[in-house]
């Protein structure tokens, strides 16, 4: 089976959940004997080609390094991508939504090759959240979400029309899409991560994996971590406000708050660190390679996800896999992954006092923290990237038959 996987977000020129998903899925599928050719982005001026293993080749196509990058990428390279697909002559095409709509529509006119699209989020839902939380809406966010929303909606509709199969990465996302587009047929497949025993496949390289519950060392300093893009809907401001309330109300000792990620709110984080509210306990590490982030998360006790919207957050799955106590925003997205006080804490992270109180309880109640950490590992196997890859492989086979 020869599959062309159009994954605009693919390392090393992008990072985040979609990029991690694309890399892990292509590696796992290729390990299963499926021949995968990835077409992704590059910030170089020329097309590059890299053979990762006998079944996995990555072709990187240039784009402009300013937003909206995925739109420039597919418009400027539409004919090029169509020509690449014509030369590759794949049995099937798999794409992530919105990133290759125009070339795939053009290719559909000359080829009946089956197409499958994976949808990782819904821009209209993000826009609704921004309008409901107007204090977060910046002028550039208005441009990115409000101005381009009709275009994104049109691209998504075309993706669904030209695809023979659509996959939503979460059930709540599937519900949103079916309500909007009145679709009867859509599959849900969660994103996958490398979980035991998949560590032996070395799919995430450079990580010294510990046994799950060796991740709970008895130490005097409690380490809280935030990992993710520094963007308004990710809730980094809520995390900073909660930390300030935590210090002001509970006066914790021997506490660290480590922030991993980059984005437009980097300046806000750096300003907070310079303030008295930081109390010298907040540390900003910027963007780190994925393997290094995983190593740093192993040293953490609590990982916070104050996001207003997620589909299937890879970072959350990785934190659960590392047996970390997680605190998540009590939104519809988190219901799908976290049962309150069982495998995590669900709280209104927009309320800094409630958020701070939840953190303080985990800091002081080691028994609760360890129980949550142990429960985090119980269901993680269903997110194994090898199992996720087999679900996609089954869809590929059905489409080809």
Q: Per-residue pLDDT averaged across 119-146, rounded?
A: 78
pTM of the model: 0.91
Q: How confident is the model at residue 66 (pLDDT cuts 50, 70, 90)?
A: confident
**Residues 269-274: contacts with CB within 8 Å, 24+ apart?**
269/230, 269/236, 269/240, 272/240, 272/244
Give the least confident one: 77-81, 134-138, 275-279, 299-303: 134-138
Q: How confident is the model at residue 183 (pLDDT cuts 50, 70, 90)?
A: confident
Q: What is the pLDDT of residue 142?
A: 65
Instruction: Tell me the domain boundaries of the chain.
Output: 2-192+384-400, 212-382
Q: Per-residue pLDDT averaged across 80-90, rounded?
A: 97
Q: What is the pLDDT of residue 204?
A: 41
* Residue pointed to by tokens 């998504």: 156
Q: Per-residue pLDDT averaged across 344-360, rounded?
A: 97
Q: What is the pLDDT of residue 15?
A: 80
Give the least confident one: 150-164, 180-194, 310-324: 180-194
| Same fold across 2-192+384-400 and 212-382 | yes
Q: What is the pLDDT of residue 145?
A: 66
Q: Which H or E element spans position 161?
A: helix 149-162
Q: What is the pLDDT of residue 140?
A: 67
Q: Give the angle 268-279-289 at the CA atoms, nearest 5°.
A: 55
Q: How confident is the model at residue 4 (pLDDT cuts 50, 70, 90)?
A: very high
Q: Which H or E element spans position 371?
A: helix 366-376
Phi then psi dihedrals of residue 63, to 5 deg: -150, 170
Spatial CB neighbours of 300, under 8 Å, sequence gap ≥ 6: 223, 224, 225, 258, 324
State the CATH class of domain 212-382: alpha beta
Compute the mean pLDDT over every residue in the chain, rounded to the nearest whole number.
90
Give the least confident one: 94-108, 193-207, 265-279, 372-386: 193-207
Q: How confident is the model at residue 144 (pLDDT cuts 50, 70, 90)?
A: low
* Share of residues in the chain with pLDDT > 90 (%): 75
Residue 19 pLDDT exceeds 80? yes
Q: How confident is the model at residue 146 (pLDDT cuts 50, 70, 90)?
A: confident
Residues β-bridged to residue 168:
119, 188
Phi then psi dihedrals of residue 89, to 5 deg: 45, 60
CA distances to 97, 151, 165 from 161, rounded to whole Å, are: 12, 15, 10
- Rounded to whole angstroms, the Cα distance separating 163 from 115 reads 5
Q: What tens digit of pLDDT does each residue of 202-253 get?
A: 444 334 444 544 445 556 789 999 999 998 899 999 999 999 999 999 998 8
Of 3.40.50.2000, 3.30.1380.10, 3.90.920.10, 3.30.360.10, the CATH number of 2-192+384-400 is 3.40.50.2000
Spatial CB neighbours of 266, under 8 Å, sequence gap ≥ 6: 230, 284, 286
Q: Per-residue pLDDT averaged across 357-364, rounded?
A: 96
> Which token pair is 221?
């300093």
Give the least confident one: 141-145, 189-193, 321-325, 371-375: 141-145
């Amino acid at each position: 089976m020869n599959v062309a996987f159009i994954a605009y977000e693919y390392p090393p020129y992008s990072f985040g959940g979609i990029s991690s998903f694309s890399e892990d899925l292509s590696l796992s599928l290729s390990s299963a004997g499926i021949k995968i050719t990835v077409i992704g982005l590059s910030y170089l001026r020329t097309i590059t080609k890299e053979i990762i293993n006998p079944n996995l080749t990555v072709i990187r196509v240039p784009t402009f390094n300013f937003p909206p990058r995925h739109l420039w990428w597919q418009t400027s390279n539409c004919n090029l991508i169509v020509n690449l697909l014509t030369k590759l002559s794949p049995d099937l095409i798999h794409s992530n939504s919105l990133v290759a709509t125009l070339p795939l529509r053009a290719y559909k006119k000359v080829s009946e090759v089956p197409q499958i699209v994976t949808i990782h989020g819904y821009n209209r839902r993000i826009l609704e959240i921004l309008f409901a939380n107007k204090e977060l809406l910046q002028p550039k966010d208005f441009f990115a979400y409000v101005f381009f929303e009709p275009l994104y909606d049109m691209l998504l509709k075309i993706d669904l029309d030209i695809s023979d199969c659509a996959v939503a990465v979460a059930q709540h996302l599937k519900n949103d899409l079916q309500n909007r587009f009145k679709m009867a047929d859509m599959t849900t497949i969660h994103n996958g991560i490398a979980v035991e025993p998949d560590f032996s496949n070395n799919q995430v390289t450079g990580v010294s994996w510990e046994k799950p519950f060796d991740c709970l060392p008895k130490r005097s300093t409690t380490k809280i971590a935030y990992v993710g893009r520094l963007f308004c809907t990710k809730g980094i401001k809520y995390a900073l406000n909660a930390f300030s309330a935590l210090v002001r109300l509970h006066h914790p000792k021997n506490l660290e708050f480590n922030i991993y990620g980059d984005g437009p709110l980097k300046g806000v984080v750096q300003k907070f660190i310079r303030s008295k509210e930081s109390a010298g306990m907040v540390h900003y590490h910027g963007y780190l390679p994925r393997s290094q982030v995983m190593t740093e998360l192993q040293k953490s006790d609590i990982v916070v996800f104050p996001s207003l919207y997620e589909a299937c957050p890879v970072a959350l799955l990785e934190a659960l896999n590392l047996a970390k106590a997680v605190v998540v925003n009590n939104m519809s997205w988190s219901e799908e992954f976290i049962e309150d006080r069982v495998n995590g804490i669900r709280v209104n992270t927009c309320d800094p006092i409630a958020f701070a109180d939840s953190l303080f309880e985990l800091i002081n109640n080691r028994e609760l923290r360890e129980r949550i950490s142990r429960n985090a590992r119980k269901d993680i196997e269903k997110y194994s990237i090898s199992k996720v890859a087999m679900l996609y492989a089954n869809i590929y086979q059905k489409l080809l038959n």
